Amino acid sequence: MNIPQLVERKFLFAQNQPITAPLYEIVIAQNGVFKRARRREMNAVLELSAFAVKIPELAVEEARVELAEKIPALIFAEILAHARNSTDATNFTENLYAVCRDDKSGGYCWKEISRNRSFGSTIARDDDTAYQNAVLEIHTHPPGCRAFSSQDDRDESGKFRLFGILVDIHSVQPAIRLRVGIYDSFWEIPVETIAEGQIENLTDLVKQEREMLAEICQSLSDETQNYLLAEEYRAAAVNLSYVENL
């Protein structure tokens, strides 16, 4: 019996070199080391390490997420509305949703998939086909908790899909944060990367933080900018506060 090689390791010789590994592949490119994966609904590439010295014999790769079809903005609006109605601000409990493709219609659909809910956690019904086939797994967070938690990292490990959190859902300006995960490696992305159309009344935290960091960097020296880029500085609020005082 031939056992397939689930994880592949290779060099990147062409920019259009296909992703062939059943699970994921580690690729050495001209400009760094990347983790790549594919499934029916999307391809994704995450940068694991950037090279200071390039390898000219190899092709250039870049981090990206490409969906065969983007998720309609209406899906996010419906999930937010359901989340608001499923709990109140004074007795908040988290909720969890799966967004997947509907094989009958060919479009996207969503489903609430929480088994247990509390103020700071929610557990999925992992026997639900919507959870098993999810393209996007998104859950609500308590007010003010605007980053993925260490528990989120553990719960979302071992999967290849999109992940999201909805924060401050009962406020006048609720927020969303998205990332892609490839088997324990994560990369935060703006909503526009995977959403079709404008999402109303949701602040995109990743986009907001990147814009703030870009604005701050304009006033910094080249040396400081190079340091931030080399260290892959995350544009979280605590880091933005530090950068502003450099």
3-state secondary structure string across the chain: CCCCCCEEEEECCCCCCCCCCCCEEEEECCCEEEEEEEECCEEEEEEEEECCCCCCCCCCCCCEEEECCCEEHHHHHHHHHHHHHHCCCCCCCCCEEEEEECCCCCCEEEEECEEEECCCCEEECCCCHHHHCCCEEEEECCCCCCCCCHHHHHHCCCCEEEEEEEECCCCCCCEEEEEEEECCEEEEECHHHCEECCCCCCEEHHHHHHHHHHHHHCCCCHHHHHHHHHCCCCCCHHHHHHHHCC
Name which of 159, 202, 169 is nearest 95 in CA terms: 169
**Exposure string for 31-62, b = 16+ CB within 10 A, e = fewer:** bbbbbbbbeebbebbbbeeeeeeeeeebbebe
User: Is CATH 3.40.140.10 the classification given to domain 71-201?
Assistant: yes
> Which own/partner contact pairs does 111-114 have at CB distance under 8 Å and 24+ positions apart?
112/82, 112/86
CA separation (Å) from 146 to 108, 119, 217, 236?
A: 26, 15, 23, 9
Show me where the domains of the chain are located: 7-67, 71-201, 208-244
pLDDT at 135: 96
**Model confidence band, residue 242 (pLDDT cutoffs 50, 70, 90):** very low
Per-residue pLDDT for 101 more than 80?
Answer: yes
pLDDT at 199: 84
Per residue in 168-182, pLDDT (tens digit) is 999 999 999 999 999
pLDDT at 79: 95
Per-residue pLDDT for 166 more than 60?
Answer: yes
pLDDT at 136: 97
pLDDT at 82: 94
Per residue in 180-238, pLDDT (tens digit) is 999 999 999 999 999 998 888 899 999 988 888 877 777 766 666 565 555 454 555 54
Task: Tell me what percent of the residues of the chain surpass a pLDDT of 90.
Answer: 59
Mean pLDDT, rounded, of the chain: 86
Query: What average pLDDT does this structure show over 46-63?
Result: 95
